Structure 1
Amino acid sequence: MTTRRKAVILFSCCLSLLIVSMDATIVNVAIPSIRTDLDATPAQIQWVIDIYTLVLASLLMLAGATGDRLGRRRVFQTGLTLFALGSLACSLAPTIEMLIAARFLQAVGGSMLNPVALSIISQIFTKPVERARALGVWGGVVGISMALGPIVGGLLIDTIGWRSVFWINLPICAAALVLTAVFVPESRSATMRNVDLVGQGLAILFLFGTVYTLIEGPVLGWGHPRVVGTAVAAAVAFVAFLAYESRRVDPFLDLRFFRSIPFATATINAVSAFAAWGAFLFMMSLYLQGERGYSAMHTGLIYLPIAIGALVFSPLSGRLVGRYGARPSLVTAGVLIATAAGMLTALDAATPVWWLLMVFAVFGIGFSMINAPITNAAVSGMPTDRAGAASAVTSTSRQVGVSIGVALCGSVAGSALAQGGNDFATAARPLWFICIVLGLLVVVMGLWSTSARGLRSAERLAPLILDERGEVPVVR
């Protein structure tokens, strides 16, 4: 295959990453406008974000397996088509309920994009050096999307309206579809694992039940029969999931992974950091446009330090992990997230813009430092044929974290969402204290996972999970 064709394939895969990553910031900037235009309740606004992240979390691992089984190009094209149709439906939604339903469809398509695109890249770029370069470009697109999302979103919202933030996905999806059809060869996995539909279903019930309880509890009342019933159903689904997966030969989630302290703590860190991240993006958009009265464009500009953090410190964190291990990056990330959350407790209606920019910069740098060590810790000591599955669990955990973070906004700072106005910052303060705890938890988990005991637990895991030949190639 020629170098030019490989470059075009990488470009088409990166287009899918661009729209999925940009969605995280661009929709959050549009939340105040959506709430006003569609007369949405606080709970409904939370569902606009959480229905997307929950579906994404629920289907990521299944989408990767489906691509291996049915063909990566076919599944990738299906994902692009569904994402485009979902985006179009979002832009045309006449009610908040229709918007939430359209976001569901958009997420189904989105779940088929990044895991399958990464699989395509791994099949096309087979040499270690060229694969490393391709993944470096892939990582750089995340920073670019974080930079473009808030600014482009703010400009579109101020000049055209919030519906236009979904239109931007359509030409990108169309370009990716054409390039994929022309340049990307079809490929399938030679060996395929069975699909664990029961385990998948139980996991989805648990995730949706937990988030539903957190979002609807403050609205309906924590003692409401529907809230209590959903919470009980989520707990039962979780227990059933553990029991079923522990007995299955080829489980949806191999519970033995959690015997590795680095893997278990990587999952905790992913949920913790991304919960703080989800809460931060959601609440700060409402604060800036609600309490402060800034325009969507002004809000997008204040978000810009996050992008600078991603562009500069994400690759720096990767180099630190490669040279010194995961501890420096994890500890730095946790400390900075906790520091930024502490700075947020001092917010009020007159906080100067320079202070806001500092908060966004500190939070952005801390968050940018977390991804590389999480992925590294998750696969450390894993047999090579299970490293992909371990990495997929942390990717899922990231989306679960965002869902929980947004749900906590209503549970902990519900009065801020309900009233807005000049008391917003004060009502949101308990949420920032929780984010401080989440940041400190990342620090503690980072120290534990990189301790001598943690590293020994990872080394003991591989012999428990043998490949078919009884050999144990391990990720170092």
Structure 2
Amino acid sequence: MNCTVQFMIAVPARTSAEVAALPPRRRWLTLAVLGVSLLVVGLDVTVLNVALPTLVRELGASAGQLQWIVDIYALLAGALMLFCGGLADRLGRKRVFLAGLVLFTGASVAAAYAGSVTQLIVARGAMGIGEALIMPATLAIIGSVFTDPAERTKAIGIWSAAVGAGTVIGPMLGGWLLDRFWWGSVFLVNLPVGVAGLVAAVLLVPAAPGTRGRRLDPLGASMSVAGPALLLWALIEGPSDGWTDPVVLAAFTAAFVLIAAFVWWELRAPGPLLPLGIFRHRGLAVGAVLILLAAFAMIGTLFALVQHLQFNLGYTAAQTGWRLGPMALGLLVAGPLAGALAQRLGPRYVAAAGLALVAAALTVFATTGPGDGYGRVLAVIVLLGAGAGFVITVTSDSIVGSLSERDLGVGSATNSTAIQFGAALGVAVTGSLLAGRYRSEIGRSGLGAGEKAAAHDSLGAALAVAERLPAQAGAAVARTARDAFTAGLGPAMFTGAAIATAGVVIALAFAPRRIHSDDSGDPS
């Protein structure tokens, strides 16, 4: 930690006025550098998804371990985002941003050469900490550099498009790599981009001074990790251990106690990790809820969608990646379009429209039948990409635009925390509902006791067993397991659709009508 702090403090700083007065060309070059770095972060959100079936085969990962490989990253990124946002305010945003790039890139190399599921989970956790340092710093830098509201709206549209593009390019690039190299190659792609981004950031990104008066809150940070971690553990382990298992119930209880204790402490701490008064700004409070719901739906759906494409429809990793590609079009078009529409219609209606598209996407996926092919998947990913692009852009802009310069770091961290917690909960809830229904269907099937035991854990495990059985028996196991997985899509996706629909209601009722209005009072 000492080395990291020394590295961060070595960056020379400009005054806030100098940063705000940068010439246009320098401002947009700064955004380009941040965009490249965010592209890597976006890549890692989804690049691993396409490799999940491979990890079942190569590392013997169980269904619960797959959820942890995805969720440990989102958990640590989300839980530490607020702490790192305060760190950025205190030490300087560029310094924290550079430190995050170093950690993220180094941990990517460690993940590439992990020899077990445990090692991979640890490396992924370190990458999540790197993202926690990167994300709030980038959005706060944008808020400092782009002081004109209209210009900042465009910049945030590009910011969200960069994250979104990386999110969708990830499966395509990951699939291409998996068809040619070993599974660890999906992480090594971060190395050249991370190094290039680091060099460009040192040269081009301005360094505004930190706000030295903001205290750090290590106790609050500890509770913000422990509470959600126990909640995710209980959600992931519930389908296998049983929802009434004493350990699972104890984990749920401890999680809610720690989350309540976190809120109690933040109301009384001399230097709170999350100043709860910041939620008086309606744009921030509502925006954080809406972006959490959008991330829940999007990442939870991708977790199931990749397995559906490879295990059910039989596509290779590369074929899966390319078939997810149309989502990129939806995100890339929707991000800038949302910024323009928000200027004319206001964020309320644009956010509601985005969540309605997300709900429609999940409803289409929930009604998937055993004979449905890629056409239904295409409808899902286009609707999902467009909806997520709308929501992420307008809510991020509402959050940043509602805050003063001093609170940009914490406010930006709140935005990024909502995304990561939404993603983590989406994977945990979607995965648990899917696994619970899958296991129930396997238990009621006509398979023999030995075949049921072999197929019980996951669809990937069932297909691996089916390949080793005689042709007729193997085909029966594979068909039963695929039907059970498809049946599990219903409860998992309908739940996500209901949550997105609730987001539509919240947006219409509470989101501000105008961009950057003083929304601490009347929502209009």
> TM-score of the superposition, structure 1-length normalised?
0.88
| Contact 1:413/1:428 (8 A) holds in 2 | yes
Q: 1:76 to 1:378 in 2, by over 3 A?
A: closer
CA displacement 1:124-179 (0-9 Å, x = unmatched): 55666765665454344234324422221111111113211101001111112222
| Contact 1:382/1:458 (8 A) holds in 2 | no
| Contact 1:82/1:106 (8 A) holds in 2 | yes
Q: 1:401 to 1:136 in 2, by over 3 A?
A: closer
CA displacement 1:22-72 (0-9 Å, x = unmatched): 112211111111121100010100001100001100111222222332343
Secondary structure of the equivalent of 2:48?
Answer: helix
| Contact 1:382/1:461 (8 A) holds in 2 | no
Equivalent residue for 2:521, pick from 450, 454, 460: 460
| Contact 1:269/1:441 (8 A) holds in 2 | no
Equivalent residue for 2:373, pick from 352, 368, 372: 352
Question: Is structure 2 residue 284 aligned with structure 1 residue 274?
Answer: no
Distance 1:372 1:140 in 2: 8
Q: 1:85 to 1:314 in 2, by over 3 A?
A: same
| Contact 2:365/2:376 (8 A) holds in 1 | no
| Contact 2:283/2:512 (8 A) holds in 1 | no
Question: Is structure 2 residue 170 aligned with structure 1 residue 154?
Answer: no
Distance 2:198 2:251 in 1: 40
**What residue in structure 2 maps to residue 446 of structure 1?**
507
Query: 281-290 or 195-204, which moves further after superposition?
Result: 195-204
**What residue in structure 1 maps to residue 322 of structure 2?**
301
Query: 117-126 or 97-106, which moves further after superposition?
Result: 117-126
- What letter matches 1:427 in structure 2? G
- What letter matches 1:47 in structure 2? W
Distance 1:105 1:54 in 2: 11
- What letter matches 1:337 in structure 2? V
Query: Across the two proteins, how many residue pairs are aligned to each other?
Result: 461
Equivalent residue for 1:192, pick from 213, 219, 222: 213
- What letter matches 1:331 in structure 2? A
Q: Which runs of 5+ in 2 are unaligned?
A: 1-21, 440-456, 460-480
**What residue in structure 2 maps to residue 285 of structure 1?**
306
| Contact 2:223/2:262 (8 A) holds in 1 | yes
Secondary structure of the equivalent of 2:215?
Answer: coil
Q: 1:69 to 1:267 in 2, by over 3 A?
A: closer
- What letter matches 1:444 in structure 2? V
Question: Is structure 2 residue 476 aligned with structure 1 residue 427?
Answer: no
| Contact 2:154/2:339 (8 A) holds in 1 | no
**What residue in structure 2 maps to residue 466 of structure 1?**
none
**What residue in structure 2 maps to residue 399 of structure 1?**
420
Q: 1:181 to 1:367 in 2, by over 3 A?
A: closer
- What letter matches 1:154 in structure 2? G
**What residue in structure 1 maps to residue 448 of structure 2?**
none
| Contact 2:89/2:406 (8 A) holds in 1 | no
Equivalent residue for 1:327, pick from 348, 362, 368: 348
- What letter matches 1:447 in structure 2? L
> TM-score of the superposition, structure 2-length normalised?
0.80
CA displacement 1:410-451 (0-9 Å, x = unmatched): 321114483324221112211011012112101110111148
**What residue in structure 1 maps to residue 139 of structure 2?**
118
Secondary structure of the equivalent of 2:230?
Answer: helix
Secondary structure of the equivalent of 1:369?
Answer: helix
Question: Is structure 2 residue 136 aligned with structure 1 residue 75?
Answer: no
RMSD across aligned positions (CA): 2.8
1:86-105 matched pairs, under 5 angstroms: 86-105=107-126
| Contact 1:16/1:114 (8 A) holds in 2 | no
Distance 1:132 1:53 in 2: 26
Secondary structure of the equivalent of 1:226?
Answer: helix
**What residue in structure 2 maps to residue 109 of structure 1?**
130
- What letter matches 1:440 in structure 2? T
Secondary structure of the equivalent of 2:521?
Answer: helix
CA displacement 1:342-379 (0-9 Å, x = unmatched): 11122133213222211211122122211133234446
Q: 1:170 to 1:387 in 2, by over 3 A?
A: closer
Equivalent residue for 1:221, pick from 242, 249, 269: 242
**What residue in structure 2 maps to residue 204 of structure 1?**
225
| Contact 2:157/2:338 (8 A) holds in 1 | no
Q: 1:258 to 1:188 in 2, by over 3 A?
A: closer
**What residue in structure 1 maps to residue 362 of structure 2?**
341
CA displacement 1:260-306 (0-9 Å, x = unmatched): 55544333322222111121010000111111111111111221121
| Contact 2:85/2:409 (8 A) holds in 1 | no
Distance 2:511 2:150 in 1: 28
Question: Is structure 2 residue 255 aligned with structure 1 residue 234?
Answer: yes
Distance 1:338 1:132 in 2: 25
CA displacement 1:303-326 (0-9 Å, x = unmatched): 112111111112111122222112
**What residue in structure 2 maps to residue 59 of structure 1?**
80
Equivalent residue for 1:85, pick from 93, 106, 123: 106
Secondary structure of the equivalent of 1:458?
Answer: coil
**What residue in structure 1 maps to residue 447 of structure 2?**
none
| Contact 1:91/1:167 (8 A) holds in 2 | yes
Distance 1:422 1:28 in 2: 19
- What letter matches 1:14 in structure 2? G
Query: 276-285 or 169-178, which moves further after superposition?
Result: 169-178
- What letter matches 1:438 in structure 2? I
Q: 1:123 to 1:447 in 2, by over 3 A?
A: closer
Q: 1:159 to 1:103 in 2, by over 3 A?
A: same
| Contact 2:299/2:427 (8 A) holds in 1 | yes
| Contact 1:302/1:360 (8 A) holds in 2 | no
Distance 1:125 1:380 in 2: 11
Query: 209-218 or 376-385, which moves further after superposition?
Result: 376-385
Distance 2:312 2:414 in 1: 38
Q: 1:59 to 1:309 in 2, by over 3 A?
A: same
CA displacement 1:190-237 (0-9 Å, x = unmatched): 453111222222222221111111011222222334322222211111
Query: 221-230 or 393-402, which moves further after superposition?
Result: 221-230
Distance 1:68 1:124 in 2: 15
| Contact 2:299/2:426 (8 A) holds in 1 | yes
Q: 1:305 to 1:15 in 2, by over 3 A?
A: same
Secondary structure of the equivalent of 1:113?
Answer: helix
**What residue in structure 2 maps to residue 468 of structure 1?**
none
